[in-house]
Structure 1
């Protein structure tokens, strides 16, 4: 079974890993600082938890990419560009690290206690289920934690 951020076990493991991150950690790939990575994750997680689906029909390409990324590939690929609205380079200082880390933990804690459907349209996978959002969110957080070696 795929790890899913909607489960207490998965969210607890992500929080335990983030507690090993410091503002001075350097990325093993990419250019974000630890504070920028947290801001990026916080921006994405807020959107997942708060926004709802646009009127969008999932394409065959999105469906196939979803199956590959969520169910077949073990990890997300390194250096993949995300949506421009989640670009955080230069938008946060390392002095704000603890605030970003606390917000990260707060948002991760909301996933297993969430009771409403997660209905945001994924930019690459199209319309995905609440369960698939839990898998995608876990894989995304895992990706960035591995980026910083935690």
Structure 2
């Protein structure tokens, strides 16, 4: 599992993102590349700008912690064509360059804050996570979707 807190490894994600173009074809799934970048940004918004999103209710939160958390935070890669959680669905076209810039900024911010800032940090959906769980969740999500677009 790559380490999103390591500057060299964070740069590999940025390099892969910079290989995307506004018309990069997907290898599977339904998202266009602009929606993909926006979709990835929603995960970072949940970490850094949670006031922008609607917090899950008690039942949703319980179900997420009980049944989804371990699948999202372990080191097993995601399978292709898994359904997207409703809060992560992007309905409208987005500005490719703006979304790309935002995503790179979020990756850089995460790396600069470092592992220590995430150890015990509260997750929007899963409660407190270890730094390794945060790492796995971010790395898996980035890898899954960058592979979806062949980068």
Q: Which has the higher helix share?
A: 2
Q: Give ranges in structure 1 of 5+ residues lacking alignment.
A: none
TM-score (ref. length: structure 2): 0.78
8 Å contact from structure 1 (residues 39, 92) kept in 2: no
Partner of residue 120, structure 1: 123
- For the structure 1 residues 143 and 44, does the alpha-carbon distance in structure 2 shift closer, same or farther, using more than 3 Å as the test? same
Partner of residue 142, structure 2: 141
**Alpha-carbon shift at residue 122 of structure 1 (Å):** 4.2
Find the aligned partners of 1:63 and 1:140 in 2 and give their Cα distance.
13
How many residues are aligned here?
139
- For the structure 1 residues 10 and 50, does the alpha-carbon distance in structure 2 shift closer, same or farther, using more than 3 Å as the test? farther
Find the aligned partners of 1:127 and 1:62 in 2 and give their Cα distance.
14
| Other structure's SS at 1:65 match | helix
Partner of residue 5, structure 2: 6
TM-score (ref. length: structure 1): 0.78
Q: Give ranges in structure 2 of 5+ residues lacking alignment.
A: none
